[in-house]
Amino acid sequence: MMLSAVLSVLVFMRLQRFHRQFTLELKRVMYHMESRISRYISGTIRSLPSVHAYGAEATYASFFMELVNTSALASITAHTSSLWLSARFGLFGAWALSLSASLCILRAESLPPAIAGVALLLALAMAELLERLVKCTVNVATQLAAVERISYYSQLQPETHSLADPGNSLPSPSRSLQRFIPAFTSPASWPLQGPGSPLSPEGPPQVSDSAWADYLQYWPVKGTVEIRDLGVQYQPALPLALSGVSLKVPGGQHVGICGPSGSGKTTLLLSLSHLVPCRNGVIAVDGLEQGHIPMELWRAKICVIPKDAVVFESGSVRLNLDPLEQYTDVDLRAALQAVNLQSSITSLDALATGLGPHKRQLLYLARAYLMQSRIICI
Protein backbone atom coordinates (compact mmCIF):
# COMPACT_ATOMS: atom_id res chain seq x y z
CA MET A 1 0.00 0.00 0.00
CA MET A 2 2.89 2.37 0.78
CA LEU A 3 4.46 1.60 -2.60
CA SER A 4 1.18 2.43 -4.31
CA ALA A 5 0.93 5.72 -2.38
CA VAL A 6 4.51 6.77 -3.22
CA LEU A 7 4.05 6.02 -6.92
CA SER A 8 0.73 7.88 -6.89
CA VAL A 9 2.33 11.01 -5.43
CA LEU A 10 5.14 10.95 -8.03
CA VAL A 11 2.70 10.59 -10.92
CA PHE A 12 0.50 13.30 -9.40
CA MET A 13 3.38 15.78 -9.18
CA ARG A 14 4.46 15.18 -12.77
CA LEU A 15 0.94 15.53 -14.20
CA GLN A 16 0.24 18.58 -12.08
CA ARG A 17 3.42 20.39 -13.24
CA PHE A 18 2.82 19.64 -16.92
CA HIS A 19 -0.89 20.45 -16.94
CA ARG A 20 -0.45 23.64 -14.89
CA GLN A 21 2.16 25.17 -17.23
CA PHE A 22 0.21 24.20 -20.34
CA THR A 23 -3.14 25.51 -19.07
CA LEU A 24 -1.61 28.73 -17.74
CA GLU A 25 -0.13 29.58 -21.13
CA LEU A 26 -3.45 28.84 -22.82
CA LYS A 27 -5.24 31.11 -20.36
CA ARG A 28 -2.83 33.92 -21.15
CA VAL A 29 -3.51 33.47 -24.85
CA MET A 30 -7.27 33.56 -24.18
CA TYR A 31 -7.02 36.79 -22.16
CA HIS A 32 -4.84 38.37 -24.85
CA MET A 33 -7.22 37.40 -27.65
CA GLU A 34 -10.26 38.65 -25.72
CA SER A 35 -8.54 42.03 -25.33
CA ARG A 36 -7.69 42.15 -29.05
CA ILE A 37 -11.25 41.25 -30.04
CA SER A 38 -12.67 43.92 -27.73
CA ARG A 39 -10.32 46.60 -29.09
CA TYR A 40 -11.00 45.54 -32.68
CA ILE A 41 -14.78 45.74 -32.21
CA SER A 42 -14.61 49.20 -30.61
CA GLY A 43 -12.21 50.46 -33.29
CA THR A 44 -14.37 49.08 -36.09
CA ILE A 45 -17.48 50.72 -34.66
CA ARG A 46 -15.70 54.09 -34.60
CA SER A 47 -14.49 53.60 -38.18
CA LEU A 48 -17.75 52.35 -39.70
CA PRO A 49 -18.21 55.35 -42.04
CA SER A 50 -14.71 54.85 -43.47
CA VAL A 51 -15.22 51.08 -43.74
CA HIS A 52 -18.42 51.57 -45.75
CA ALA A 53 -16.89 54.34 -47.85
CA TYR A 54 -13.97 52.16 -48.97
CA GLY A 55 -16.06 49.00 -49.26
CA ALA A 56 -13.80 47.15 -46.81
CA GLU A 57 -16.55 45.21 -45.03
CA ALA A 58 -15.26 41.84 -46.24
CA THR A 59 -11.69 42.62 -45.14
CA TYR A 60 -12.74 43.69 -41.67
CA ALA A 61 -15.08 40.71 -41.29
CA SER A 62 -12.36 38.29 -42.44
CA PHE A 63 -9.84 39.64 -39.95
CA PHE A 64 -12.46 39.54 -37.19
CA MET A 65 -13.15 35.88 -37.94
CA GLU A 66 -9.42 35.15 -37.73
CA LEU A 67 -9.33 36.68 -34.25
CA VAL A 68 -12.42 34.71 -33.18
CA ASN A 69 -10.97 31.46 -34.57
CA THR A 70 -7.70 31.97 -32.72
CA SER A 71 -9.55 32.68 -29.47
CA ALA A 72 -11.83 29.66 -29.99
CA LEU A 73 -8.81 27.45 -30.75
CA ALA A 74 -7.22 28.38 -27.42
CA SER A 75 -10.50 27.75 -25.57
CA ILE A 76 -11.04 24.36 -27.25
CA THR A 77 -7.45 23.35 -26.54
CA ALA A 78 -7.89 24.23 -22.85
CA HIS A 79 -11.06 22.13 -22.68
CA THR A 80 -9.30 19.26 -24.47
CA SER A 81 -6.40 19.39 -22.01
CA SER A 82 -8.90 19.06 -19.15
CA LEU A 83 -10.36 15.95 -20.80
CA TRP A 84 -6.83 14.62 -21.34
CA LEU A 85 -6.11 15.05 -17.65
CA SER A 86 -9.32 13.23 -16.66
CA ALA A 87 -8.42 10.32 -18.96
CA ARG A 88 -4.90 10.09 -17.55
CA PHE A 89 -6.15 10.08 -13.98
CA GLY A 90 -8.72 7.43 -14.91
CA LEU A 91 -5.93 5.21 -16.21
CA PHE A 92 -3.87 6.06 -13.17
CA GLY A 93 -6.75 5.10 -10.86
CA ALA A 94 -7.19 1.78 -12.64
CA TRP A 95 -3.47 1.12 -12.33
CA ALA A 96 -3.44 1.98 -8.60
CA LEU A 97 -6.48 -0.22 -8.00
CA SER A 98 -4.86 -3.12 -9.88
CA LEU A 99 -1.63 -2.71 -7.93
CA SER A 100 -3.47 -2.65 -4.59
CA ALA A 101 -5.57 -5.70 -5.56
CA SER A 102 -2.42 -7.62 -6.62
CA LEU A 103 -0.72 -6.86 -3.32
CA CYS A 104 -3.83 -7.94 -1.41
CA ILE A 105 -3.90 -11.25 -3.32
CA LEU A 106 -0.21 -11.88 -2.67
CA ARG A 107 -0.72 -11.34 1.04
CA ALA A 108 -4.13 -12.91 1.31
CA GLU A 109 -3.10 -15.35 4.09
CA SER A 110 -1.81 -12.65 6.48
CA LEU A 111 -4.10 -9.75 5.47
CA PRO A 112 -7.58 -9.54 7.08
CA PRO A 113 -10.44 -9.12 4.58
CA ALA A 114 -11.58 -5.85 6.22
CA ILE A 115 -8.15 -4.25 5.76
CA ALA A 116 -8.01 -5.45 2.16
CA GLY A 117 -11.42 -3.91 1.46
CA VAL A 118 -10.40 -0.58 2.98
CA ALA A 119 -7.17 -0.59 0.91
CA LEU A 120 -9.08 -1.22 -2.32
CA LEU A 121 -11.61 1.48 -1.46
CA LEU A 122 -8.89 4.04 -0.72
CA ALA A 123 -7.03 3.16 -3.90
CA LEU A 124 -10.22 3.68 -5.89
CA ALA A 125 -10.94 7.06 -4.27
CA MET A 126 -7.33 8.29 -4.35
CA ALA A 127 -7.29 8.88 -8.12
CA GLU A 128 -10.45 10.98 -7.98
CA LEU A 129 -9.15 13.02 -5.05
CA LEU A 130 -5.83 13.67 -6.77
CA GLU A 131 -7.61 14.72 -9.96
CA ARG A 132 -9.72 17.22 -8.05
CA LEU A 133 -6.63 18.54 -6.28
CA VAL A 134 -4.79 19.05 -9.58
CA LYS A 135 -7.75 20.80 -11.18
CA CYS A 136 -8.16 23.10 -8.16
CA THR A 137 -4.48 24.10 -8.13
CA VAL A 138 -4.50 24.70 -11.89
CA ASN A 139 -7.72 26.72 -11.64
CA VAL A 140 -6.19 28.94 -8.95
CA ALA A 141 -3.07 29.46 -11.08
CA THR A 142 -5.08 30.36 -14.18
CA GLN A 143 -7.30 32.77 -12.27
CA LEU A 144 -4.18 34.49 -10.97
CA ALA A 145 -3.25 35.19 -14.60
CA ALA A 146 -5.65 38.15 -14.39
CA VAL A 147 -3.76 39.38 -11.32
CA GLU A 148 -0.56 38.96 -13.32
CA ARG A 149 -1.91 41.33 -16.00
CA ILE A 150 -2.88 43.87 -13.33
CA SER A 151 0.59 43.58 -11.82
CA TYR A 152 2.10 44.18 -15.26
CA TYR A 153 0.10 47.39 -15.76
CA SER A 154 0.90 48.58 -12.21
CA GLN A 155 4.62 48.30 -12.96
CA LEU A 156 4.51 50.43 -16.10
CA GLN A 157 6.78 53.45 -15.96
CA PRO A 158 4.82 56.68 -15.33
CA GLU A 159 4.88 59.45 -17.88
CA THR A 160 7.64 61.98 -17.47
CA HIS A 161 7.31 65.74 -16.92
CA SER A 162 4.28 65.35 -14.67
CA LEU A 163 3.37 68.13 -12.26
CA ALA A 164 1.71 65.52 -10.04
CA ASP A 165 5.17 64.11 -9.24
CA PRO A 166 6.96 66.32 -6.69
CA GLY A 167 10.25 65.49 -8.39
CA ASN A 168 9.10 66.98 -11.70
CA SER A 169 8.96 70.72 -11.29
CA LEU A 170 8.87 73.42 -13.92
CA PRO A 171 11.90 73.44 -16.22
CA SER A 172 14.71 75.75 -15.31
CA PRO A 173 14.23 79.26 -16.72
CA SER A 174 17.92 79.50 -17.52
CA ARG A 175 17.51 76.57 -19.91
CA SER A 176 14.22 77.43 -21.61
CA LEU A 177 13.00 80.92 -20.85
CA GLN A 178 16.15 82.74 -21.91
CA ARG A 179 16.03 80.98 -25.28
CA PHE A 180 12.43 81.64 -26.24
CA ILE A 181 11.04 84.53 -24.21
CA PRO A 182 12.36 87.33 -26.52
CA ALA A 183 9.67 86.38 -29.04
CA PHE A 184 6.94 86.70 -26.41
CA THR A 185 4.51 89.61 -26.68
CA SER A 186 2.94 89.93 -23.24
CA PRO A 187 0.21 92.20 -21.88
CA ALA A 188 1.05 95.45 -20.17
CA SER A 189 1.13 93.72 -16.79
CA TRP A 190 3.92 91.39 -17.86
CA PRO A 191 6.47 91.60 -14.97
CA LEU A 192 9.53 91.55 -17.22
CA GLN A 193 8.76 94.74 -19.18
CA GLY A 194 11.00 97.77 -18.90
CA PRO A 195 14.75 98.28 -18.64
CA GLY A 196 16.70 95.06 -18.36
CA SER A 197 13.82 92.94 -19.65
CA PRO A 198 14.36 90.07 -22.09
CA LEU A 199 13.07 92.37 -24.85
CA SER A 200 15.81 94.93 -24.26
CA PRO A 201 18.93 95.11 -26.46
CA GLU A 202 21.13 93.94 -23.57
CA GLY A 203 19.65 90.45 -23.91
CA PRO A 204 17.77 88.23 -21.48
CA PRO A 205 18.89 88.42 -17.85
CA GLN A 206 18.65 85.67 -15.26
CA VAL A 207 14.90 85.09 -14.77
CA SER A 208 13.32 83.90 -11.57
CA ASP A 209 11.13 80.82 -11.25
CA SER A 210 8.06 82.97 -10.59
CA ALA A 211 8.61 84.91 -13.84
CA TRP A 212 9.01 81.64 -15.72
CA ALA A 213 5.72 80.39 -14.23
CA ASP A 214 4.03 83.64 -15.28
CA TYR A 215 5.35 83.21 -18.79
CA LEU A 216 3.96 79.68 -19.02
CA GLN A 217 0.60 80.99 -17.86
CA TYR A 218 0.32 83.10 -21.05
CA TRP A 219 2.00 80.55 -23.35
CA PRO A 220 1.28 79.94 -26.20
CA VAL A 221 0.60 83.41 -27.54
CA LYS A 222 0.55 82.82 -31.31
CA GLY A 223 0.13 79.04 -31.41
CA THR A 224 2.80 78.40 -34.04
CA VAL A 225 3.41 74.66 -34.34
CA GLU A 226 6.73 73.48 -35.73
CA ILE A 227 7.69 69.83 -36.29
CA ARG A 228 11.22 68.93 -37.35
CA ASP A 229 12.30 65.46 -38.52
CA LEU A 230 9.67 63.71 -36.36
CA GLY A 231 9.86 59.95 -35.85
CA VAL A 232 7.22 58.05 -33.86
CA GLN A 233 7.38 54.42 -32.79
CA TYR A 234 4.65 52.70 -30.77
CA GLN A 235 6.83 49.76 -29.59
CA PRO A 236 10.60 49.21 -29.74
CA ALA A 237 10.15 46.06 -31.86
CA LEU A 238 7.80 47.76 -34.36
CA PRO A 239 8.82 49.89 -37.35
CA LEU A 240 8.45 53.66 -37.25
CA ALA A 241 4.86 54.79 -37.73
CA LEU A 242 6.11 58.24 -38.75
CA SER A 243 9.55 59.05 -40.07
CA GLY A 244 11.13 62.33 -41.12
CA VAL A 245 7.98 64.46 -40.81
CA SER A 246 8.67 68.19 -40.88
CA LEU A 247 6.18 71.03 -41.13
CA LYS A 248 5.44 74.47 -39.74
CA VAL A 249 1.96 75.84 -39.12
CA PRO A 250 1.87 79.58 -38.33
CA GLY A 251 -0.44 80.70 -35.58
CA GLY A 252 -3.99 81.52 -36.59
CA GLN A 253 -3.91 79.33 -39.71
CA HIS A 254 -6.39 76.58 -40.60
CA VAL A 255 -4.59 73.48 -41.86
CA GLY A 256 -6.11 70.20 -42.97
CA ILE A 257 -4.05 66.98 -43.07
CA CYS A 258 -5.34 64.48 -45.62
CA GLY A 259 -4.30 60.96 -46.47
CA PRO A 260 -5.52 57.38 -46.83
CA SER A 261 -6.15 55.06 -43.93
CA GLY A 262 -2.91 54.15 -42.18
CA SER A 263 -0.96 57.14 -43.48
CA GLY A 264 -0.27 58.46 -39.96
CA LYS A 265 -2.87 61.18 -39.39
CA THR A 266 -3.92 59.82 -36.00
CA THR A 267 -0.31 59.12 -35.02
CA LEU A 268 0.62 62.73 -35.76
CA LEU A 269 -2.28 63.95 -33.61
CA LEU A 270 -1.29 61.60 -30.76
CA SER A 271 2.31 62.77 -30.86
CA LEU A 272 1.20 66.41 -30.86
CA SER A 273 -0.96 65.69 -27.80
CA HIS A 274 1.99 64.01 -26.06
CA LEU A 275 0.14 60.67 -25.94
CA VAL A 276 2.80 58.84 -27.99
CA PRO A 277 6.48 59.52 -27.28
CA CYS A 278 8.66 60.80 -30.09
CA ARG A 279 11.50 58.49 -31.05
CA ASN A 280 13.41 61.34 -32.65
CA GLY A 281 12.77 64.85 -33.88
CA VAL A 282 11.25 67.89 -32.22
CA ILE A 283 7.72 69.24 -31.69
CA ALA A 284 7.65 72.88 -30.63
CA VAL A 285 4.88 75.40 -29.98
CA ASP A 286 5.88 79.07 -30.08
CA GLY A 287 9.50 77.95 -29.90
CA LEU A 288 9.15 75.84 -26.76
CA GLU A 289 9.93 72.18 -27.31
CA GLN A 290 7.65 69.46 -26.02
CA GLY A 291 10.25 68.05 -23.65
CA HIS A 292 10.73 71.42 -21.91
CA ILE A 293 7.10 71.81 -20.84
CA PRO A 294 5.31 69.87 -18.06
CA MET A 295 3.00 67.26 -19.55
CA GLU A 296 -0.20 68.50 -17.90
CA LEU A 297 0.48 72.05 -19.08
CA TRP A 298 1.24 70.93 -22.64
CA ARG A 299 -1.97 68.92 -22.91
CA ALA A 300 -4.03 71.67 -21.26
CA LYS A 301 -2.94 74.15 -23.94
CA ILE A 302 -3.98 71.89 -26.84
CA CYS A 303 -7.68 71.22 -27.37
CA VAL A 304 -8.67 68.05 -29.21
CA ILE A 305 -12.23 67.63 -30.54
CA PRO A 306 -12.70 63.95 -31.45
CA LYS A 307 -15.07 62.63 -34.05
CA ASP A 308 -16.96 60.68 -31.37
CA ALA A 309 -17.11 63.29 -28.63
CA VAL A 310 -17.79 61.85 -25.16
CA VAL A 311 -19.67 63.77 -22.49
CA PHE A 312 -20.67 62.96 -18.92
CA GLU A 313 -24.34 62.26 -19.51
CA SER A 314 -25.02 61.91 -15.79
CA GLY A 315 -23.49 65.34 -15.18
CA SER A 316 -24.74 68.81 -15.93
CA VAL A 317 -23.76 71.02 -18.83
CA ARG A 318 -21.76 73.14 -16.37
CA LEU A 319 -19.76 70.06 -15.34
CA ASN A 320 -18.97 69.17 -18.94
CA LEU A 321 -17.97 72.71 -19.84
CA ASP A 322 -16.06 73.57 -16.69
CA PRO A 323 -15.16 70.42 -14.71
CA LEU A 324 -12.58 72.31 -12.62
CA GLU A 325 -15.01 75.17 -11.80
CA GLN A 326 -12.73 77.93 -13.06
CA TYR A 327 -15.28 80.12 -14.90
CA THR A 328 -18.44 82.03 -14.04
CA ASP A 329 -21.90 81.39 -15.44
CA VAL A 330 -21.54 84.48 -17.63
CA ASP A 331 -18.44 82.98 -19.25
CA LEU A 332 -20.17 79.63 -19.75
CA ARG A 333 -23.19 81.24 -21.42
CA ALA A 334 -20.90 83.33 -23.63
CA ALA A 335 -19.11 80.18 -24.75
CA LEU A 336 -22.41 78.46 -25.58
CA GLN A 337 -23.53 81.51 -27.53
CA ALA A 338 -20.26 81.59 -29.45
CA VAL A 339 -20.87 78.08 -30.80
CA ASN A 340 -24.66 78.59 -31.32
CA LEU A 341 -25.74 76.21 -28.55
CA GLN A 342 -27.69 78.73 -26.48
CA SER A 343 -30.96 77.70 -28.09
CA SER A 344 -30.42 73.98 -27.50
CA ILE A 345 -29.23 74.30 -23.89
CA THR A 346 -31.54 76.46 -21.79
CA SER A 347 -30.03 75.73 -18.37
CA LEU A 348 -26.47 75.11 -17.26
CA ASP A 349 -27.72 72.71 -14.60
CA ALA A 350 -29.54 70.51 -17.12
CA LEU A 351 -28.16 67.05 -17.73
CA ALA A 352 -26.06 66.62 -20.86
CA THR A 353 -28.27 63.81 -22.12
CA GLY A 354 -29.84 63.63 -25.55
CA LEU A 355 -27.10 65.63 -27.24
CA GLY A 356 -26.29 64.32 -30.71
CA PRO A 357 -22.74 63.85 -32.02
CA HIS A 358 -22.76 67.29 -33.68
CA LYS A 359 -23.84 69.09 -30.51
CA ARG A 360 -21.32 67.16 -28.44
CA GLN A 361 -18.56 68.40 -30.71
CA LEU A 362 -19.91 71.94 -30.33
CA LEU A 363 -19.77 71.43 -26.55
CA TYR A 364 -16.09 70.55 -26.91
CA LEU A 365 -15.62 73.65 -29.05
CA ALA A 366 -17.27 75.77 -26.35
CA ARG A 367 -14.81 74.36 -23.84
CA ALA A 368 -11.94 75.34 -26.15
CA TYR A 369 -13.46 78.83 -26.35
CA LEU A 370 -13.47 79.03 -22.55
CA MET A 371 -9.86 77.91 -22.30
CA GLN A 372 -8.79 80.34 -25.04
CA SER A 373 -6.92 77.51 -26.73
CA ARG A 374 -4.55 78.62 -29.48
CA ILE A 375 -4.32 75.13 -30.95
CA ILE A 376 -7.48 73.16 -31.75
CA CYS A 377 -7.30 69.74 -33.38
CA ILE A 378 -10.51 68.37 -34.90
Strands (E), the chain: 225-232, 242-249, 278-285, 288-289, 302-304, 375-377
Task: Decide if 73 contacts 89 (C-beta within 8 A).
Answer: no
Give the pLDDT of residue 134: 77
Give the pLDDT of residue 116: 78
201 confidence band (pLDDT: 50, 70, 90): very low
Distance CA 317, CA 323 (A): 10
Range list for CATH 3.40.50.300 in the chain: 219-303
Give the pLDDT of residue 210: 66
84 confidence band (pLDDT: 50, 70, 90): confident
Please tell me whether the overall predicted TM-score, pTM, comes out greater than 0.75 for this model. no
The answer to whether the Cα torsion of 208, 214, 219, 221 is positive or negative is negative
The count of residues in the chain is: 378
Give the pLDDT of residue 224: 87
Nearest to 351 by CA among 311, 314, 310, 309: 314
Give the pLDDT of residue 159: 63
Neighbours of 289 (CB within 10 A): 16
1 confidence band (pLDDT: 50, 70, 90): low
Give the pLDDT of residue 198: 37
For the domain covering 219-303, report its CATH number. Answer: 3.40.50.300
Distance CA 229, CA 236 (A): 19
Q: How far is CA 308 from CA 35, 42, 47, 314, in A?
A: 21, 12, 10, 18
Residues 176-194 pLDDT 10s:
444 434 333 333 333 333 3
Average predicted confidence (pLDDT) for the chain: 75
Question: Average pLDDT, stretch 289-305?
Answer: 82
Secondary structure of residue 240 in the 3-state scheme: coil
Nearby residues of 360 by Cβ (< 8 Å), 6 or more positions away: 309, 310, 311
Highest mean pLDDT among 165-169, 213-217, 271-275: 271-275
Residue 248 reports pLDDT greater than 60: yes
208 confidence band (pLDDT: 50, 70, 90): low
Burial code (b: 16+ CB inside 10 Å, e: under 16) for 295-334 equals beebeebbbbbeeebebeeeeebbbbbbeeeebeeeebbe
Give the pLDDT of residue 117: 79
Q: What are phi and psi of 206, to 5 degrees?
A: -70, 125
Residue 142 reports pLDDT greater than 50: yes
Q: Which residue has the higher pLDDT, 254 or 346?
A: 254
Task: Decide if 61 contacts 9 (C-beta within 8 A).
Answer: no
